[in-house]
Structure 1
């Protein structure tokens, strides 16, 4: 049956146009072939990332029926492990009862091998081709997950390309590679790594994972922005005063200071996670939900952001307080390190929609609570006829990514009673835990791994997107590395350095001081980083 062609009234289609092939984006769809022979290779299977994130994510997909029946999960690393030893190592990290764990683990095997030379890779290829040969005529998929430091990506990808690329020619077969961040340390090192990987695998086979793009509320932000008519008229510089994107952790480096010290909070969180969220907030509506249509719009926004100016930055490093150690007390941190554990950065998107609107990206460790949220503050209501100070009663849209996912809108309403025009700030609140009881919101990793199996790259970072993000932060990072910016101390468990409040004030952020969360105690107990955890729902 031929495809139906819809012709707008009054238009004429030539015969050649009716028979013209559709573009790749128009034909695009993502799915998993039912008869797929799927081999998932976890490179670095003996490491912490694999046992804490990768294998539990794969188990979640397996338990919920998202993986093909014919799936094999093959671990590869240098550690001398047997299949039985790998399973014993993974078992405590998995969920469910013994039967559920065993059902998953019997699909998990292990191949020992080095990352250089040929012997290990040839052994891995033998396992892959051996199992695929049993399913002659079926499409085969190979998903390589690099749960490894980026420093070994070139040699690992070279080994995979040289020895493990003999994919069957069956229609529907595919090969894809997932790589973890950090993707370099600055623009030049990122481009160098991208060039090496690009010579081995085309962009269509590379999946650069940023787990914040897989979070439920990050994906909901995209739907909420472009599916609701009431948001469109106010989503611009005429109505929005400022935007804050915040990431807070209530713990320090916890013995991982050696790793953290080589990157710092800007490379670890802001340049990737928070910048990706900024792109979702500021992007224009894409032509479709094709991955490249979405990523095209994100790149356009990032290219409109000029490199960070030093006077728009506040850096901090936590010190010992209340019995908790300071950053430099961590024995894995070099003595006298000036690596920032807190940063607040103001960015400006120089386009028609957002010109002049500050976007403040804030992230820190060892702060007073744990949360990640997007806060969009609107301008004060003009010609406010109800008395009081409209500057102190701002509408805000807040999207809380973690913990306890929620969306709430602060509005001005009449306070109950006989007084005329007595106003108060209240909220329209969508708490996911209450609205969708019993619904399990998965971690980001199962969603992103499933996207890779389906061939959907919309939540993975494209090379030009990565380049644009590094261009924004590279001059600042070089200034930080050279010690040109002050690093302000702040006590463990505090809100961060006071200088960050001054930065927010310069960005035009106004606290709703009269706002009172009605369930402050309950909210604080269950969600210290939530809407009411600090009483006004406004401060970092």
Structure 2
């Protein structure tokens, strides 16, 4: 199967924070891959903007080094790299002053899409938006891309939205969450809404429970000071896991349209029940395996910030009443994996004697590694000797199912940046969606702070704190094993 490449319009993309880690690891390599794939027109331009006094040649050398480091060898075509590098410019910018803005304005072209990527600290979002407006660099059709965190609570999220709204309309603001750019996440919508097979049974009557797991093997070393002001709840649950939950639980939108999709996601967030204290487990990884502990990495021996969280959540609407959603995410766990597992209920009556061998049907959606899906179903065990049941997967790995060409799946950032150029906001969060998520998360965080409990310690390389097992055990269920 050969994937279709649909080129976007020519554009000017300004990457504020162009010398930063995200630009080096994701943005510049991703744009090169889109150029190599024929999706980014050669009339386009990329303009790096940062505080550093750097020449254009120095910035181009940095971009070339980033491609060499973060693009696989089979995608590094010398001639194409040279062409791509020729599209890159650089300007030194003072985000809170006037330095460089006149130069940037002179670099803007008429008749092309203008996009501005704020790959900087949120504290600079307002200053950049204001100067783009005051210097007449952004026009009515321009788009801005803002990275998370979108605030650290409801009040700061509202303030941030209000700041951006002074200079840009909501349809010009693209709040990027890279999880929504993953191929499997989008395929989740296709599986649900393009197949009559699943939609009739996608509800509490047939689904026993849902597990959403995002596990990482790395710790917070190198960013411990930042992470200690955030924690797993703010860093992962309020945005990434919330978005995955919304896509699982949302009602079918009337059309695959940005606002229609986001309207349905917003309804899910507003239908979330408050979470009781006994339905949450927080953890911190300990030292082990030659690695330091969380408190060592955060340089805060008294830290009460969680590097792991597991929780049981309920969506109070007609579709999901009574079906629990179990969410968990953490650092220094057994394997790096992200998956959604939808466990269906057992048939109301079994006609087989081998009842003890029964296992539920489970639809597993793997986000990483090895993006794909499998459906665990019961079949007859081969061989004579009666009707014995066994469980087997109906497996669809994208790499295997789509063939060599189809398996060349773009990185999430590549897809999302191209959506910005197209003006498609379907996979980006709307301002009211962000605020609703914080309105749900804030009381949970505030309850922890009032209680003052320290998170449970857990050994690195495990599945997290032992207490997390009880979340499911007391409901007669078990967590899925964390493995690659």
TM-score, normalising length: structure 2: 0.93
> Which residue in the other structure is 1:195 paired with?
162
Q: Is 2:334–2:462's contact at 8 Å kept on the other side of the alignment?
A: yes
- Alignment partner, residue 429 of structure 2: 461
Residue 433 of structure 1: aligned partner: 399
Determine if the alignment matches structure 1 residue 41 to structure 2 residue 14: yes
User: 2:275 touches 2:444 (CA, 8 Å); kept in 1?
Assistant: yes
Give SS of 1:219's match.
Answer: helix
Distance 1:485 1:389, change over 3 A: farther
Question: Does residue 158 of the first structure (1) align with residue 130 of the second (2)?
Answer: yes
Q: Shift of the alpha carbon at 1:51? A: 1.1
Residue pair 2:122, 2:149 contacting (<8 A) in 1 also = yes
**In structure 2, what is the Cα distance between the partners aligned to 1:425 and 1:76?**
55
Provide the C-alpha distance between the structure 2 equivalents of 1:507 and 1:291, rounded to a whole number of angstroms.
37
Does residue 1:282 correspond to 2:262, yes or no? no
Q: Which is further off, 186-195 or 99-108?
A: 99-108
How many positions carry a matched residue from both structures? Answer: 470
CA distance in 1, matches of 2:188, 2:438: 23
Out of 354, 367, 381, the position equivalent to 2:320 is 354
CA offsets per residue over residues 10-63 of structure 1, 9 Å max, x none? xxxxxxxxxxxxxxxxxxxxx9775x4x21000011111111111112111111
- Contact 2:286–2:460 (8 Å) recurs in 1: yes
**Distance in 2, Cα, partners of 1:382 & 1:279:** 28
Return the offset for 1:510. 4.3
What SS does structure 1 have at the residue aligned with 2:165? helix
- SS, match of residue 100 in structure 2: helix
* Structure 1 segments unaligned to the other structure (5+ residues): 1-30, 133-138, 168-172, 514-527, 531-540
Contact kept in structure 2, 1:252 and 1:366, CA below 8 Å = yes
Q: Distance in 2 between matches of 1:512 and 1:68?
A: 45
Name the residue aligned to 2:440: 472
Within 2, Cα distance between the matches of 1:321 and 1:511? 23
Q: CA deviation at 1:157?
A: 1.0
Of 381, 399, 411, the match for 2:365:
399
The C-alpha deviation readout for 1:138-160, integer Å capped at 9, x for no partner, is x2211000001111111111111
Q: Take 1:263 and 1:391, find their aligned partners in 2: how far apart are those partners?
A: 44
Equivalent of residue 334 in structure 2, options 348, 359, 368: 368
CA RMSD of aligned residues (A): 1.9
Tell me how far 1:484 sits from its aligned partner. Answer: 3.1
Structure with the greater alpha carbon radius of gyration: 1
Please name the residue that 2:83 is paired with: 103
Counterparts of 2:275 and 2:432, CA distance in 1: 19
Report the Cα distance in structure 1 between the residues aligned to 2:448 and 2:124, rounded to whole angstroms.
Answer: 26
Whether the aligned pair in 1 keeps the contact of 2:281 and 2:309 (CA below 8 Å) is yes
C-alpha distance 43-512 of structure 1, shift in aligned 2 (>3 A):
closer
TM-score where L is the length of structure 1: 0.84
Query: 2:214 aligns to what SS in structure 1?
Result: strand
SS of 1:450's equivalent? helix
Q: Distance in 1 between matches of 2:7 and 2:37?
A: 15
Does 2:93 correspond to 1:113? yes
Task: Please list, as runs of the form range in 1=range in 2, the aligned pairs for 1:304-453 lying within 5 A after superposition.
Answer: 304-330=271-297, 332-389=298-355, 393-438=359-404, 439-453=407-421
Task: Tell which has more relative contact order, 1 or 2 (C-alpha 8 A, sep 6+).
Answer: 2
| Whole-Å separation in 1 of the counterparts to 2:480 and 2:216 | 24
Q: Which residue of 2 aligns with 1:136?
A: none
Cα distance, 1:317 vs structure 2? 0.4
Question: Using the alignment, how far apart are the partners of 2:372 and 2:128 within structure 1?
Answer: 40
Distance 2:258 2:349 in 1: 44
- Report if the CA contact (8 A) 2:119-2:147 is conserved: yes
2:228 matched residue in structure 1: 261
Query: For 1:95-244, what aligned pairs fall within 5 Å after superposition?
Result: 95=71, 96-128=76-108, 131-132=109-110, 139-165=111-137, 167=139, 174-244=141-211
Counterpart-to-counterpart distance in 1, 2:259 and 2:77: 41
Aligned partners of 1:283 and 1:301 also within 8 Å: yes
Q: How far apart are residue 106 of structure 1 and its match?
A: 1.1
> Which structure 2 segments of 5+ residues have no match?
1-5
- Of 492, 498, 504 in structure 1, the residue corresponding to residue 460 of structure 2 is 492
8 A Cα contact 2:279 2:471, kept in partner: yes
Residue 30 of structure 2 is matched in structure 1 by 57
How many Å separate the matches in 1 of 2:415 and 2:293? 36
After superposition, what is the alpha-carbon deviation per residue over 1:191-213, rounded to whole angstroms, capped at 9, x for unaligned?
11111111211101000000000
Whether the 8 Å contact between 2:154 and 2:442 is mirrored in structure 1 is yes
Residues 495/144 of structure 1: CA separation in 2 closer, same or farther (3 Å cut): same
SS state at 1:221 partner: helix
> Is the CA contact 2:8–2:39 (under 8 Å) kept in the aligned structure 1?
no
What SS class does the counterpart of residue 229 from structure 1 fall into?
coil
Alpha-carbon distance in 2 for matches of 1:234, 1:142? 44
Change in Cα spacing, 1:327 to 1:512, as seen in structure 2 (3 Å) is: closer
Call closer, same or farther: CA 1:455–1:512 in 2, change over 3 Å: closer
| Pairing partner for 2:483 from 502, 521, 529 | 529
**Where do 1:55-94 residues align within 5 Å?**
55-94=28-67
Taking the aligned partners of 2:242 and 2:22, their CA distance within structure 1 comes to 23
